[in-house]
A and B are shown apart, each in its own frame.
Chain A
Amino acid sequence: MAKYIGKRLLRSLLTLFIIITIVFSLLRLMPVEGYFQNFEKMSSTQIRVGLQQLGLTDPLPVQMAKFWKGVFQGDLGVSHKYRVGVSVLDIIGGKMPLSLSIGLCSLGIALLLGLPLGILMARSTRTRWKIGDRLGTVFVVVIQAVPAAVYYLLIQFYGGRLPGASMFFDAGRPATWLLPIFSLALGNIAYYAMWLRRYMVDESNKDYVKLARAKGVPTAEISRKHIFRNAFVPLVQFIPTSVILTLMGSLYVESLYSIPGMGGLLVTAIQTQDNTLVQALVLIYAAISILGLLVGDILMAILDPRITLGQKEGGR
């Protein structure tokens, strides 16, 4: 197991290195005005001196080496446009916790509601009229097919009129957290319900379920100990990614409710041409995406003994 994790870790680091190198090189092609606050008023000499001070006239490999050195020392540079002179990590650190807490709450709700819904739908396929399955399918299809923007707006508009709720977010008033969290959860509820139902139906038609029935295991126990357990494994792979993605926040929900989270940061950074901030954000996003996949794969390997550890891992 340790060998497998080690290998996957090395591979992830390699991927990260390649992504960062490419992004870093591409960002060097950006117009240099992104490094100065009052670019229009500067003379060409001032610009050259400024660039020299920032080390941007050095050859690319040297710049790269400096950047990596900074990364290992926990320094991703300072913002030049967004908030001048402030370390980008401070900017991000001020926003991330809020996005993370809203995201985790919504993910928790999505799992708490989505998984039971999936189980209910799967079990309902065995009943005569399949009412649970049909209703659940309607919900899943609506949520998947209607653009999120539409139901987000409806939730904000109608939900905002509920007593205690508000159309805008206020970190100090817990009631105002509900609508954005619920909005974010809806998509995931449908997603988890849909996949869990599908995997459970698949599993329940397998021979080992018939054998379990033949040996006298009650249906409810088969459903819990055999079918759900096995159907959950393929879903487990996605959960770490979902958790980590909450760090990025949701652009749309955060702007709807005026939440000062991570959601709009990358867009703003690109719009204002704050190159350092863009670079740092891309590094962080790439790292967390890769970490999500890595943790997902490791969880899978722990839960499914058939995943061969070591030699034959070309499968994924």
Chain B
Amino acid sequence: MPNKDAILSFEDLEIHFTLRGQILRAIRGVSLDVARGEALAIVGESGSGKSVFTKSAMGLLDANGSIAGGHIWYDGKDLAAYRTEKEWLTIRGKEIAMVMQDPMTSLNPLKTVGDQILEAVLLHQGLRGEAARQAVLEALAAVGIDDAPRRYRQYPHEFSGGMRQRVVIAIAVACRPKILICDEPTTALDVTIQAQILDLIKQLQKKLDLTTIYITHDLGVVANVADRIAVMYAGDIVEVGRCEEVFYDPKHPYTWALLSSLPQLGVKGQELYSIKGTPPNLFQEVKGDAFAPRNPRALNIDFVERPPFFEVSPTHKARTWLLDPRAPKVEPPELIRHLRQQGGSRHV
């Protein structure tokens, strides 16, 4: 049953894709609660399934993908049972909106920016005519675009990358959603703009009382914005906890490896850490801990049985046998121990 405090609750979610007759198990039984009003970051490498996972809550999976099991609870309804477009239209935009990765391509090049925001206003705010136009101008101003009446009539190619991402955010916000999914919102932007966009989203979250879900592989972004982190690997969440818990006291070997490969933690003159090997082939059944083959500290049982979640604290849990009381004591890499000592005193 759905968690009462959660606004969105994934329960044993399984997502399969059919590719050339084979079945790819992109999401393998993931449960995750998203608390009302929080900023949750889902981190993981490319192909780990973080994007697919969140898209499933909007019914935006590609045609060859489907929810093969589990539930997505939102407002007492199970979105995993939604089949028709009519059902999904009650969710898309209206309840959950999305900011996509590449602002250069996610706006229609032949429509004015104003019209594209207007589309969202007409669909979701129930306004018409001049009132709708005013709402668009407000949305433009709210995302920090000056001279809104003039900008309204301009086309996307007359905007810079950062400005276009602001427009995309304005579209999402103009839908008046409860949840905002930001799918790598800063990946395509240059570094100086990244911080501005993140600040903008944070500020809007507070102002509009939004719940935000960030999807990213940039831990710098996470540290900046997230209350909570879920680490995803090979279609499964391996560790979830509050931001400082995951950064300063990580428990899963994959999280260790991920943090160790942060350039910010590298020592000058030494080669930056990188995770050996490749993620498992999801066309085949994954046995045990998906990360075991790449984990130099893997236990024997990691290859045999999938670990359950072990609670570290009420807010922090990890899916690794290392937390089993019977497990031998395995020390995290030195770099991670070092982080732990710094815990709280310094940000990553």
Interface residues of A (CB under 8 A from B): 126, 206-208, 210-219, 225-226, 229-230, 233, 303-306
Contact = CB atoms under 8 A, between A and B. Distances in A.
B155 A305 contact: yes
Contacts of B63: 126
A306 B97 CA distance: 28
B87 to A, nearest CB: 12
Contacts of A126: 63
Contacts of B124: 216
Nearest to B62: A210
Given A126-B63, A210-B60, A210-B100, A215 B119 contact: yes
Interface string B84-115: 01000101111001101010011111110000
Contact of B58 (A212, A214, A233): A214
Contacts of B97: 214-215
26 contacts: A126-B63, A207-B102, A208-B105, A208-B107, A210-B60, A212-B119, A213-B60, A213-B92, A214-B92, A214-B93, A214-B97, A214-B98, A215-B97, A215-B123, A215-B171, A216-B123, A217-B119, A217-B123, A219-B85, A225-B119, A230-B110, A233-B110, A304-B109, A305-B110, A305-B155, A306-B155
Contacts of A233: 110
Contacts of B89: 216, 218
A233 B102 CA distance: 24
A214 B109 CA distance: 17
Question: Majority SS of interface residues in chain B?
Answer: loop
B139 interface: no
A262 to B, nearest CB: 37
Interface residues of B, number: 30
B338 interface: no
Interface in B119-144: 119-120, 123-124
A207 B155 contact: no
B98 A216 contact: no
Given A211-B100, A216-B123, A217-B93, 9 more contacts: A208-B106, A210-B100, A211-B106, A212-B108, A215-B119, A215-B120, A217-B123, A225-B119, A306-B109
Interface of B: 58, 60, 63, 85, 89, 91-94, 97-98, 100, 102, 105-111, 119-120, 123-124, 155, 157, 168, 171-172, 175
Contact of A230 (B102, B108, B172, B175): B108
Nearest to A128: B63
B150 to A, nearest CB: 15
Nearest to A208: B108
Nearest to B115: A225
A212 B168 CA distance: 11
B322 to A, nearest CB: 39
A216 to B, nearest CB: 3
B100 A214 contact: yes
Contacts of B92: 213-216
Nearest to B119: A217
A92 B72 CA distance: 73
A312 to B, nearest CB: 13
A207 B100 CA distance: 9
B66 to A, nearest CB: 13
A215 B100 contact: no
Contacts of B109: 208, 230, 304-306
A128 B266 CA distance: 50
Contacts of A304: 109-110
A216 B63 CA distance: 17
A218 B171 CA distance: 16
A218 B85 contact: yes
Nearest to A127: B63
A206 B108 CA distance: 9
Listed from nearest, the 8 A-B pairs whose CB atoms lie closest are A216-B93, A216-B92, A207-B105, A214-B98, A215-B93, A305-B155, A207-B106, A208-B108
Nearest to A214: B98
B333 to A, nearest CB: 39
A126 B111 CA distance: 24
A218 B98 CA distance: 16
